[in-house]
Structure 1
Amino acid sequence: MTADLGARISGLLRDVADFPQPGVAFKDISPLLADAGAFQAVVHAIAAVAGDDVDIVAGVEARGFLMAGALACELGCGLVPVRKAGKLPPPTLDRSYDLEYGSATIEVPVDLLEGKRVLLVDDVLATGGTLRAAAELIADGGGTVTAMGVIVELGFLDGRSALGGLAPLHTLLTL
């Protein structure tokens, strides 16, 4: 990752105060997604660290879906959604976890991950609860997370430590 890409990402982030609840400063990547060149550069950068060790890309709802779709096309592999509970048709596997402002449950489809090498992606790493739960779900489904990729890591929340070395984590910008 180049310093130029980090600066480009930083310039395209939008801070949204008190969202989704008071006291939370949400990092919105919508301006980055709307910039074709920046979005393409982000996809290329994450694809480069994933290498050839990927059968399927798992994207965490909702902005991770956007990354996962583009990455799956770039890498020539499949895609699996990691969704909020109740959004996928059964059968699914689910896991609950804590995040910086509450708790949530996510799920994945059954029988799509068995024996697959998985690149797990999301837009922002905050406390690490969502990525950890997603990685554990993938393992429960018989897959192996070979790498994780995020656009922005909120270093001050130390989410990286919550991942406990589950797989190599690649971030394009740390704040």
Structure 2
Amino acid sequence: MAFYESEAQAFFAATVAVDMTPLYMPFLSRLEPGAAILDAGCGSGRDARAFREFGYAITAMEPSPALAALAEAHCGQPVEILRFQDLDWSERFDGIWACASLLHVSLAELPEVMGRLARALRPGGLLYASFKYGQGERERGGRRFTDINEAGLQDLLVEVPELALIETWTTADRRPGRDDERWLNVLLGRCSH
């Protein structure tokens, strides 16, 4: 949190213009027009703004007040200042977009947080998440990361029975100069039981 509070402007500038369109399609193609989407850990507000322009009903949340203020100005709508650990919506969203945000949740807290996200989804709803590809927890440049690969994802999902795996795929980082960084993209569905 301290990193995003002190580096909000620089982080915003580095991420707001990144073209994420190729990553939107696997997620949006499975949602109805006008579906309710939560941008969970919205960062710069880039994706919330894009989804809103596509005609979806967007709720955006971001734990860092400084980043939330920048995101609010960018996407033209309120951004709730909220941590994943405090999320308590029930069956409110058709889709949840957690792009490069859950990776800051510790491995120990991830099952509970994923359960909270699952409960926020309507039955049959979709959760997109992305993690830096790898294994284990680390700290870099004042931020902590939980890296996940396919095996780690399988272990995690055992503890979150409300979510079922739909698809995973790996991509290179979309920011300039980061081609060597790989991401695990994950699409999960909320089980109807």
TM-score by length of 2: 0.45
